[in-house]
Structure 1
Amino acid sequence: MTEKWAIVTGASGGIGLDIARILAARSYHLVLVARSEDKLKDAQEELSAGGSKVKVVALDLAQVGAAEKLVHETDRWGIVPEVLINNAGIGAWGPFLDSTFDEVKGMVDLNVQALAQLSHLYGRKMRERRLGYMLQVASTAAFQPLPSYAVYAATKSFVLSFSRALNYEGREFGISSTALCPGPTSTSFFDRAHHKLNKQFQALMMDSSEVARQGVEAMFAREESHVAGFLNRVGASLLPRVMPAKFLVRGAALFMK
């Protein structure tokens, strides 16, 4: 109980793995969660070399009962996390009516249900200790409807709203919840979403290690939310205020194409 533990979901690569590296450098022990056991073991080998204890759980958090299974494992190990990083998430590019409902359900189950359930289960443990930090990875897509990513953007709007409310409620118990809102980031997200990017879109990408750094710093500062990157902050805060909604949606649709 005297050791500092952090749980990181979606930890096999991208922003999640970069966050795990930063936390290991801050002397946290880690529980890494993702679907790929091979990638998790590679991460375990890398991070444990620096002196951190690293446990891995190969798990698809979108599946029924997955969140409870993760909590059962950490309980069995005697781990009560000080930090919870809800980074696991998926997106799919294309018109909503062209997608299968299994794809839609999978996004909602992972991006919304699993995130809320893990926040609930581990938040209660943090409340008992009166100490805890949560980082909920949302997106700049949370700030406006996004044609071609209709369901993904809607799930990230949930994450942003939910995290802000949870952050307020948790203050009296020493718990904070920070919503991290990155824009386009150099990870495997767009490959998995089957979204082929043009050069202009690629030029706007942030490095995942920089997004991770900003997110971790915002979390420990107990910020309510943090948009990574200056241009992303301008777009997220300014455009929805000055641009009529119908033009905002049209602009977003063109950008995503």
Structure 2
Amino acid sequence: MNMKNQYALITGATSGIGYELAKIFAKNGYDLVIVARNYDELKKKAAELKSFGVNVITIAKNLFNQEDAYSLYSELKLNGISPEILVNDAGQGVYGKFQETDIHREVDIINLNIVSVIILTKLFLKDRLQKGSGRILNLASIASKAPGPWHSVYHGTKAFVLSWSEAIREELKDSGITVTALLPGPTDTDFFNKADMNESKILDDPDNLASPEDVAMDGFNALMKGEDKVISGLKNKLSVAMTNITTDQMAAHRMSEMQKPSSENKNN
């Protein structure tokens, strides 16, 4: 199947799962539009991705800012590019008790994890509906399935992404456009560092972390098959199954035990 001139638009494409997805799309012959905040980092990753023999367009945008989400699509339109695939990967968390965390950072995270995602998806759909084809991959998380003490806003944003993805998938079922949610568990990326989460008990055991390559491959395969969602990794499938059979209160307690700082012992 010749992908010539089929573009995949990937946010958060310079590191972690987004970068691994970009590599998989490039290996499969897709041209790329990669988006991230850091221009130098984009240029560096673009050079690596071009070695697969595909076209790579870099667009530096700060998706904490909704204007940047809109202008991203205006720039694509000006260049006559209509991505066939949209990967909403960019996302961040902030770690700590809600009463103590920085509200400005949390509003930024809601803008990045939710607002920019719905704007880009809306613009993608306006562009693709008349063409009758397209695929959307939204990064949810196993966090979307359970409340997350110590990580409450992040879990809330991912619950939104999953619920909304399932809803628009149903609306789009006769349109030729599919919507797939990818639900990784803890993955070996810069996520924890950015979330100031290096204290979390999750990181005590390196075996708790999946490889971003494996997660990206699960997401790519589910997207290409048009599946509605995929939980990446057996451990995470089990964890979600557990969550599904317990009360939200129990699930929140279990998550709290997993995520709280190692220094918070039982006596606190």
TM range (shorter): over 0.9
Separation in structure 1 between the aligned mates of residue 40 and residue 214 of structure 2, nearest angstrom: 25
**TM-superposition CA deviations, 1:175-223 (whole Å, max 9, x none):** 0110100000000000011111455443210000110000010001111
**TM-superposition CA deviations, 1:67-108 (whole Å, max 9, x none):** 111001111111101100000111011011111210110011
**Is the 8 Å Cα contact of residues 10 and 89 (structure 2) preserved in structure 1?**
yes
Residue 9 in 1 paired to residue 11 in 2? yes
**TM-superposition CA deviations, 1:119-161 (whole Å, max 9, x none):** 0001121111100000000110000100011000000000001
Find the counterpart in structure 2 of residue 152 from structure 1: 154
Identify the range of structure 1 (196-205 vs 11-20) with the bigger mean alpha-carbon deviation. Answer: 196-205
Find the counterpart in structure 2 of residue 254 from structure 1: 257
Find the counterpart in structure 2 of residue 73 from structure 1: 75
Note the C-alpha offset of 1:2.
Answer: 6.4
TM-score normalized with structure 1 length: 0.96
Percentage of pairs with the same residue = 32
Find the counterpart in structure 1 of residue 27 from structure 2: 25
Find the counterpart in structure 2 of residue 116 from structure 1: 118
Q: Look up the SS of the partner of 2:66 in the other structure.
A: coil
Find the counterpart in structure 2 of residue 54 from structure 1: 56
Give the gaps of 5 or more residues in structure 1. Answer: none
Correspondence for 1:209 among 203, 206, 213: 213
**Is the 8 Å Cα contact of residues 166 and 176 (structure 1) preserved in structure 2?**
no
TM-score normalized with structure 2 length: 0.93
**TM-superposition CA deviations, 1:7-33 (whole Å, max 9, x none):** 000001110010000000111000000
Note the C-alpha offset of 1:245.
Answer: 2.5
Separation in structure 2 between the aligned mates of residue 64 and residue 80 of structure 1, nearest angstrom: 20
For the aligned residue pairs, the C-alpha RMSD in angstroms reads: 1.3
How many pairs were matched up? Answer: 256
Q: Look up the SS of the partner of 2:43 in the other structure.
A: helix
Separation in structure 2 between the aligned mates of residue 55 and residue 148 of structure 1, nearest angstrom: 38
Letter in 1 for 2:243: P
Separation in structure 1 between the aligned mates of residue 253 and residue 214 of structure 2, nearest angstrom: 30
Find the counterpart in structure 1 of residue 245 from structure 2: 242
Cα 1:45–1:2, aligned 2, differ >3 Å: closer, same or farther? closer
Separation in structure 2 between the aligned mates of residue 242 and residue 223 of structure 1, nearest angstrom: 23
Note the C-alpha offset of 1:170.
Answer: 1.3
Separation in structure 2 between the aligned mates of residue 221 and residue 241 of structure 1, nearest angstrom: 25
